[in-house]
Structure 1
């Protein structure tokens, strides 16, 4: 393995500190608040019928949506393109992890960059 040519002060820390974890959680919380503010009234109602939150892993922002019933899952799946449009405002590498009701399948993911700009609708609720 090659050693980096940077001085030790310029390298990332070897371990994550408590402060890093707190800042990480605050970032996820603020991303959720800002995302919700960008949504229109219909999207807000759809999200209020599910449990949703942001998480980051390896620098990728992920919107996790957990649907508890088939009706809310169906509505959210029909609105995925609108959600992706909003998510793209935050990161070009963001993704959605959609979790259907437990008895109806397994979670699936779609990344913002998997949809072309032509596939993302202009109008949202």
Structure 2
């Protein structure tokens, strides 16, 4: 449905309010907690050695993982099937962004519905 054909009351707000941002942070925190708890011990240990968070700003939940260096990011990439399998419990459209804290660029982006390619 074309959003412009909706009545004004049904359109999203033009600007987010503080309560919207607070709810978004709560959602990201809950996703992080439930995701971490659904991972096996090896994946949890790997995540403990990385900076990671969920973001829900895009249309799909996105897990952003930054290893301390390129070697750690490669270890995460080698474990991406287990990470994606855990993410499938939350959304089939979720994405994983893997990067390195020492480098500004994202090394790889993977949608969990593409994981069969790995």
Structure-1 separation of matches of 2:57 and 2:3: 25
The aligned residue for residue 106 of structure 1 is 105
Aligned partners of 2:114, 2:10: CA distance in 1, in Å? 34
How far, CA to CA, are the matches of 2:43 and 2:86 in structure 1?
10
Distance 1:71-1:9 versus aligned 2 partners, 3 A rule: same
- 1:85 has 2:104 as partner: no
Q: Normalising by structure 2, what TM-score?
A: 0.85
Given the two structures, how large is their TM-score scaled by the length of structure 1?
0.81
Structure 1, gaps ≥5 residues long: 121-125
For the aligned residues, what is the CA RMSD?
2.1
- The structure having more radius of gyration, on CA atoms, is 1
Q: How many residues align?
A: 116
Query: Unpaired runs of 5+ in structure 2?
Result: none
Pair 1:55 & 2:55 matched: yes
Residue 30 of structure 2 is matched in structure 1 by 30
Q: CA deviation at 1:8?
A: 2.0
Offset of residue 12 of structure 1? 1.5
- Flag as ranges the 4+ runs of structure 1 deviating above 4 A: none
Deviations 1:88-115 (A, max 9, x none): 1111111011013525x83121111222
Going by fraction, where is helix more abundant, 1 or 2? 2
